[in-house]
Chains A and B, each alone.
Chain A
C-alpha cells in the first residue's frame, strides 16, 4: 500500500472505482417475492412523515399558550364575583322582587312624583305585557289576555321547606290516639276541632345571616337608587 496512492486526487477516483462490488445476497429475490406474496410489507407501507422544517419556530408559542392556561387555573382573576339576581333561588328572588314592588309603590305615593313616574312606569309595563302576550299567543301557552296586559294562568307558588306527606299529627302522636278537646285535658300543641292552639308547629329554618344582610343592603341600595332617580327625573312643580 503505497503512500502516493492517497496523495493524488485522481487516484482517489481510481481507488473508489476499484473497490470490490458488493452484491445482494443469493436469497434476495426469494425473500422479496415471498414478502410480496404474503403482503408482508413491514414499514414500507408507512411513508416517512415529512416533518415540517419550521416546526421548532412554533415551540415558544406553544410554551406561552400552555403557561397562560396554567396561570388561568392557578390564579383566580375574578376575585369579586358580582351577584346575579337571576341566579338566586326562586324564594329569595320572589322576596326581593316583592320588596322592590313595595318600594316602588311607596315611592310613587310621594306627592309630586306620582304623575310623572306613573306615566313612565305604566308605559314600560304596558310594552312588556304586550310583548309577553304576543309571545304567549305565538307559543300557545295558556294565559288570559285581558285588555292591554296578561294575567299569568299559573301564579308563583311558594315552595315550603317541608313535605305534607311526611308530616305527622303531633297531638295524636302525644296522646297516643286518645285525643279529646276537653280544656282540662292535656294541652294541645297543634289544636283540634274548634280549639285553636295558636301554635304553628315546628319548622327548622336556616337563616344565613350574611346572605340576609347582603340582601337587605342590596334592597336598601335599590330602594334609594329608585327613589333618587324618581326624585331627579320628576318635573319641578
Chain B
C-alpha cells in the first residue's frame, strides 16, 4: 500500500496533521483533491465567474500551503479552508465593486453562466437546464452579499448551521435569520425574473 493510498483513507484532520508534522506533500495533494471541486462550486456561486473562482481557489490552496501551521486541530479542516476561500471571494467582490464604481459600463451580465455538465443530457433538456441555472445564478448574484454567502453554504453546499456559523464567525441565530432573508430575497427575484 502506497503512502498516498494510506493517506486517502484518513480523515481531513488526520491528513493535515501529517502535512503539518512531516511536511508530506502527498498529504497536501490529497486535501487539494478533496476540496478543489466543492470550493470551486462555492466560490463560483458566490462571485459568478468561473475563471475568477478558479483563481480564488488556487490562492486558497496556496494560502493553505504557506500557512498550514495556523490551522488548529480543534476546528474542522473543511470550515477552516472554506473560511479562507470565503474571505478571498469577499475581497474579490470588494475589488469588483470599486472597479464598477470607477467604470462607466457595467458588464456584469456578460459574465453569467459558464456551466460544465459532464453528464449526457439530450440537447433540449440541456438547454432548458442551462437556462434555469442561468436564471438562478443571475438571481443569486442580486441577493445581498451577506445573505448570499450563507444561502450558498446551506442550500448549495449542504452544510449544517453550526458549520456555517463557524465559517462566517456568526451566531447560529444570525445564520438562520440570514438564510431565511436570503431565501426570501431570492424567491422575490425569481418571481420578477419569471414575469420578464
Residues of A within 8 A of B (CB): 1, 3, 6-7, 9, 12-13, 15-17, 19-25, 28-29, 31-33, 35-36, 41-45, 48
Interfacial chain A residues near B104, Cβ < 8 Å: none
**In the complex, what distance in Å separates the CA atom of A162 from the CA atom of B36?**
90
Q: A6-B191, A21-B37, A32-B32 are contacts. A12–B132 as well, Cβ < 8 Å?
A: no
Interface residues of B in 87-117 (CB under 8 A from A): 87, 91, 115-117
Which one of A7, A17, A29, A42 lies within 8 Å of B156 (CB-CB)?
A17
Chain B: residues with Cβ within 8 Å of the partner, total of 46
- Chain A's nearest CB lies how many Å from the CB of B8? 15
Are B58 and A22 neighbours in the complex by a CB distance under 8 Å? no
Residue of A nearest to B39 (CB): A24
Interfacial chain A residues near B194, Cβ < 8 Å: 1, 3, 6
**In the complex, what distance in Å separates the CA atom of A28 from the CA atom of B59?**
11
Interface of A is mostly: helix
Are A29 and B187 neighbours in the complex by a CB distance under 8 Å? no
Residue of A nearest to B128 (CB): A1
Are A21 and B41 neighbours in the complex by a CB distance under 8 Å? yes
Interfacial chain A residues near B147, Cβ < 8 Å: none
Are B156 and A19 neighbours in the complex by a CB distance under 8 Å? yes
| B17 CB-CB contact with A under 8 Å | no
Are A12 and B50 neighbours in the complex by a CB distance under 8 Å? no
Are B65 and A16 neighbours in the complex by a CB distance under 8 Å? no
Count chain B CB atoms within 10 A of each CB in A1, A44, A48 and give the residue with the most.
A44
- Chain A's nearest CB lies how many Å from the CB of B153? 11
- Chain A's nearest CB lies how many Å from the CB of B164? 14
- Chain B's nearest CB lies how many Å from the CB of A29? 6
- Chain A's nearest CB lies how many Å from the CB of B81? 14
Q: List 15 A-B contacts (CB under 8 A).
A: A1-B131, A9-B183, A13-B155, A16-B136, A16-B151, A20-B133, A23-B40, A24-B39, A24-B54, A28-B57, A29-B33, A29-B36, A32-B58, A35-B58, A41-B66
Residues of B within 8 A of A (CB): 29, 32-33, 36-37, 39-41, 44-45, 50, 53-54, 57-59, 61-63, 65-66, 87, 91, 115-117, 128-129, 131-133, 136-137, 140, 151-152, 155-156, 158, 183-184, 186-187, 190-191, 194
- Chain B's nearest CB lies how many Å from the CB of A40? 9
Which one of B40, B128, B158, B191 lies within 8 Å of A22 (CB-CB)?
B40
**In the complex, what distance in Å separates the CA atom of A1 from the CA atom of B127?**
12
Interfacial chain B residues near A29, Cβ < 8 Å: 29, 32-33, 36
**In the complex, what distance in Å separates the CA atom of A3 from the CA atom of B195?**
9
Besides A20-B115, A24-B40, A35-B62, 4 more A-B contacts (Cβ < 8 Å) are A20-B117, A20-B129, A32-B58, A45-B66
**In the complex, what distance in Å separates the CA atom of A17 from the CA atom of B155?**
6
Closest 7 CB pairs of A and B: A16-B155, A6-B190, A24-B36, A44-B62, A23-B37, A24-B40, A22-B44
**In the complex, what distance in Å separates the CA atom of A79 from the CA atom of B185?**
68
Are B59 and A31 neighbours in the complex by a CB distance under 8 Å? no
Interfacial chain A residues near B57, Cβ < 8 Å: 24, 28
- Chain B's nearest CB lies how many Å from the CB of A17? 6
Interfacial chain A residues near B59, Cβ < 8 Å: 42-44
